[in-house]
Structure 1
């Protein structure tokens, strides 16, 4: 049985003009020690999916349907008091901006000790010793001195290492990392991701990595989800998706990587932009931006405009795309005629 199973997750935001669906029928699973990447453009629903796992969706957002089963416990129906025993303890989260995560008026040591004592009955001395060991694990220089520093006295890379140390304080089963290297320079990004990968492998911690950087996903994760307009459109082994992206959207993301462009030429990009969630196109939400949705003679394909694509198996991946379904159908027809 998977450590985490998400089935048909539906998240909405109640607005005056009506509910807006931020997530639609999101399904995935995560095994113990597995590393899963969630990718997509801004507005695809990546962070909403992460926050939903711990029911951290702020009002007017709410979980409208679906199931989130963690180690046999249904999180969607769990009380706030019960959830507090899981948040930060069995499931930890690393947020985008460490300065927004750390309390600026408390020292690093005070914040780490407070976190430990909220979940365990231990003395302040024991909590400080554990905090010191965790800072050593994330390769903080002079960790005993850093415990008495305030967040503003540390560099961005140092603060992010401390956030990782806090996430590991209570030996969680899952770490959710939401764009953990957004505000850092390229060199520090590589160091932080290498550290996070090493710690997850060493302690057999499952990782959900949310990012728009396909290069990072290819190096760190074993499986990945591609999201668009609140829906998963492709999922499967990372290597298989990176090497052979199936839907036009995933192909567009791959082609937009700088290394895919000819030196000196303009970077490739997906035309148009992500649609507003309260004005989603009919059928496949990507069809206004998709080259496949328009036939050579200039007409739109009825299936792309009228029908929401259902998942089909393609190799070891699951893909929600009419193009892939049509290609599979075209491959099957000659075989059936021969029979």
Structure 2
């Protein structure tokens, strides 16, 4: 049984008298100890999906339909008390900016102890010992000293380590990390990613890493979901997606990486920009920016099909597979059509 199962999730934002779709028919599963990534440009719906999983979508956003199950228990219908048992204890979240999570007027130790004591009935002394142990676990030097310091006294990388320590306090089953290294320099980014990877491996914690950078994703995630305009457009093993991307959008994201450009040349970029919720194109949402778009792409919503070990929503790939089947019907059983 899957640890987490998201099925046909639709999230809308009510703007004046208009209901705008932010997530459309999103489905995926997560197994215990598995590490997956959700990638895409800003506005693709990655963070909305992360917040939806723990039901933290605030007004004007709301879950319109669909299912989110943790150990086969429906999260979308839980009341606040039930959700508080899930948040932090079963599913923990790491945000982009640690200063948005840490209270600037409370010491690090005070905040960590409060997290523990809000969920368990243990003494302050025991909670302090656990907090210091977790600070040591995330490789913070002199954790006893850091325990009494305030967030502004720590570097950005150190603050992010404190956040990771805080999510470990209650031994969660899943960590959702929303762009956890965006504000850090490259060296610290690598250290934080290695730390997350080690924690997941050592403790069997499942990870959902939200990122816009496929280079970052390749170092951590076993499986990747590529999102565009609120929909998953490609899903598969991370190495397969990086080495053989199927969807034109995934190809564009990879080509835009700095290492894909020769020194002294302009960086590659995907022409155009992510459409706002109020101006979602008909048919395939990516067609205004796609170099391979046809008239059919403007009218027809692509369905998910299996292409190799990945699944992709693209009419071009669908047509290529159809032609392959017609030319070589003996092999057609090897190409299965997936449904969401």
Correspondence 1:276 to 2:276: yes
1:204 CA displacement: 0.5
Partner of 1:302: 295
Partner of 2:336: none
Per the normalisation by structure 2, the TM-score is: 0.96
Partner of 2:263: 263
Per the normalisation by structure 1, the TM-score is: 0.96
Q: Which runs of 5+ in 2 are unaligned?
A: 333-340
1:337 CA displacement: 10
Partner of 2:79: 79
How many equivalent pairs are there? 332
8 Å CA contact 2:89, 2:171 repeated in 1: yes
Correspondence 1:88 to 2:81: no
Provide, for residues 188-231 of structure 1, a one-character-per-residue CA deviation record: whole Å limited to 9, x for no partner: 11111111111110000000000011111111000010000000
Provide, for residues 226-255 of structure 1, a one-character-per-residue CA deviation record: whole Å limited to 9, x for no partner: 000000000011011111000111000011
8 Å CA contact 2:325, 2:331 repeated in 1: no
Partner of 1:116: 116
Partner of 2:12: 12
1:77–1:338 distance in 2 versus 1, CA, 3 Å: closer
Partner of 1:298: none
* Alignment partner of 2:328 out of 307, 310, 335: 335
8 Å CA contact 2:46, 2:227 repeated in 1: yes
Q: Which runs of 5+ in 1 are unaligned?
A: 294-300
Provide, for residues 94-144 of structure 1, a one-character-per-residue CA deviation record: whole Å limited to 9, x for no partner: 000001110011111110110001111111111000001000000111101
Partner of 2:216: 216
Match of 1:47, SS state, is helix
Question: What is the CA–CA distance in structure 1 between the aligned matches of 2:139 and 2:38, rounded to whole Å?
Answer: 27
Match of 1:210, SS state, is strand
Question: What is the CA–CA distance in structure 1 between the aligned matches of 2:221 and 2:92, rounded to whole Å?
Answer: 18
Match of 1:57, SS state, is coil
1:338 CA displacement: 12
Partner of 2:107: 107
Question: What is the CA–CA distance in structure 2 between the aligned matches of 1:5 and 1:338, rounded to whole Å?
Answer: 32
Point out 4+ residue stretches in structure 1 off by more than 6 angstroms.
Answer: none
Provide, for residues 259-298 of structure 1, a one-character-per-residue CA deviation record: whole Å limited to 9, x for no partner: 11122111111000001111111000000100111xxxxx
